[in-house]
């Protein structure tokens, strides 16, 4: 009961707070990028079943594996991709917290 609440709070509420606190002038753009980072969950469509509450995404799905995560980390080093990288890593952290709570 509490697990999905925390999970979606981390996916939707905390990014809004991050955007408002750290990027007050362009919080809308930053928030949209954070929400857009959820598109990497499209890789779940390759799995069978598509949704399994007892499966950890990290290391399982192609856009949640360690190569992809390394790529998201590298994005932090370039100004143009920094916020996207941050949003993607936040998504990964949120999914990882969900795995720990299983
Ligand atoms: Zn995910």
Query: What's the pLDDT tens digit per position in 22-74?
Result: 999 999 999 999 999 999 999 999 999 998 988 999 999 999 999 999 999 99
Whether residue 1 has pLDDT greater than 80: no
The answer to whether the beta carbons of residues 87 and 15 sit under 8 Å apart is: yes
101 alpha carbon – ligand 1 mean position (Å): 15
39 C-alpha vs ligand 1 centroid, how far in Å? Answer: 8
pLDDT at 11 over 90: yes
Helix (H) or strand (E) holding 25: none
Contact 76, 82 (CB under 8 A): yes
Altogether, the residues listed in the chain come to a count of 102
Among all chains, which residue has been given the structure tokens 């795995």?
99
| Residue-level pLDDT at 53 | 85
- Read off the tokens for 68: 């992809």
CA of 12 to the centre of ligand 1 (A): 13
Q: In the chain, where are the structural domains located?
A: 2-100
Residue 2: what pLDDT? 87
């Amino acid at each position: 009961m509490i697990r999905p609440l925390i999970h979606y709070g981390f996916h939707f509420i905390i990014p809004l707070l991050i955007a408002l606190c750290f990027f007050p002038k362009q919080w809308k753009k930053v928030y949209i990028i954070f929400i857009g980072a959820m598109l990497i969950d499209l890789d779940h469509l390759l799995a069978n079943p598509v949704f399994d509450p007892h499966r950890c995404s990290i290391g399982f799905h192609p856009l949640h594996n360690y190569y992809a995560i390394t790529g998201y980390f590298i994005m932090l080093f370039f100004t143009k991709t920094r916020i996207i990288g941050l949003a993607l890593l936040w998504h990964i952290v949120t999914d990882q917290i969900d795995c720990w709570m299983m």
